[in-house]
Amino acid sequence: MILDAPAEMRKNDPSGMLRMARKLPEQIERGIAVARSAPALPDSSRFRQIVVAGLGGSAIAGDILKGLLEDSGSIPCLVVREYTPPAFIGPDSLVFCSSYSGNTEETLSLYEAGKQKNAGLVCLGSGGELQRRALADGVPFLKMDEGLPPRAAIGYSFFMIYGLLARTSLLPDNTGELEETVSLLRRKAEIYREEIPTSDNPAKSMASALHKKLIIVYGTRLVSSVAMRWKCQFNENSKVLAFANVFPELNHNEIEGWLGFRALGVPAEVVVLRDRSEHSRVSKRIGITLELIRGNGTGTREVWSEGESPLARIFSLIYLGDFASIYLALLYGQDPTPVNRIQELKRRLSEESSK
């Protein structure tokens, strides 16, 4: 089995996605260092909402922040995955424009809209057009290291924002949470590394369980962003279809869809990401829902977050999903790094724009 042949895995991972995953703890520390050395936000007391403008991995960073602020913050957070911002964006909005490449057209559009509406702007990425515009306009730009797939830069895209907000009154002091998160991920990196056999490696075991199956990931309130992260990592790394939803919302619609699922004859596995913060009624809903799904012959599994702080618990689940998605790619004989369909779409859009 390829997952227990480290040398073979490395041959099928020429760009080193596993290596990039292992370096997440160091990336987090670097992202925090950049945030702490950046200029402070001007008069943060004026802001009434935070907006994260981005797509893909940058948007996931916003989803994570939104969940944390709902849990312990003092102002709301909105994630915009679009060309046009909501009408209420204005001078009391703090807008983080995040694009790893710096060339994401939707994010550039949102940057211009935020500037026109006199919103507070902060940009982050590895360079590109976003950096050029930010520097020309005197807007703070937090620079990420180059050479990464955007989805492998979550240590920058999230923790740069988190670290900057921690220097204001908009986020509680988080030094202890950061230290716990980095320490936990370092321990997990040792457990998930390619030399650890499948029998002792939860990430490899998860990949094996999901091989040749349709993947459905469910989350609960605090970790709903993680369910979306898992879905996107399976899409981009493993090159497979995967879907995500959240309790209790899915009990008001999607649960009915399982009634006719057996007729499709598609093998599937449901993974429920769980956290101790979930409401007691949600816990009951999960139990009943999984019983109903198993009645269709579909496999189910539950994964609990680890750690004390909400931040550590969120990233404990993210890290497992990241590694599992890479190992699943290798099971399919796929190089996890290239995203050829995404690049083809961008190429064709560019051709259309030049006509």
CA dist 192 and 208 (Å) reads 14
DSSP 302: E
Determine the Cα–Cα distance for residues 292 and 15; give it in Å rounded to an integer: 42
Burial class (CB in 10 A: 0-12, 13-18, 19+), 259: exposed
How far is C-alpha 288 from the geometric centre of its chain's CA atoms?
28
16 phi-psi bin (left φ>0, alpha ψ -120 to 50, beta other): left
Torsional sign, CA 57, 61, 62, 64: positive
Residue whose tokens read 């950049």: 34
Which tokens hold the place of 114?
């935020």
Please tell me the distance from the alpha carbon of residue 202 to that of residue 224, in angstroms, as a whole number.
21
Cβ burial 344-355 (10 Å sphere, 16+ → b, else e)? eeeeeeeeeeee
The whole-angstrom separation of Cα 320 and Cα 230 is 9
- Amino acid identity of residue 333, one-letter, is G
User: In degrees, to the nearest 5, what angle opens at C-alpha 201 toward C-alphas 220 and 159?
Assistant: 50
Q: How far is CA 183 from CA 81, 175, 219, 324, in A?
A: 32, 12, 24, 20
Is the Cβ–Cβ distance between 258 and 298 less than 8 Å? yes
Under a CB-based contact definition with an 8 Å cutoff, are residues 125 and 34 in contact?
no
Helix pair 224-233, 310-331: axis angle to 10 deg: 20
Q: Which amino acid is at 8?
A: E
Active site (catalytic) residues:
236, 252, 346
Is the separation of the CB atoms in 64 and 28 below 8 Å? no
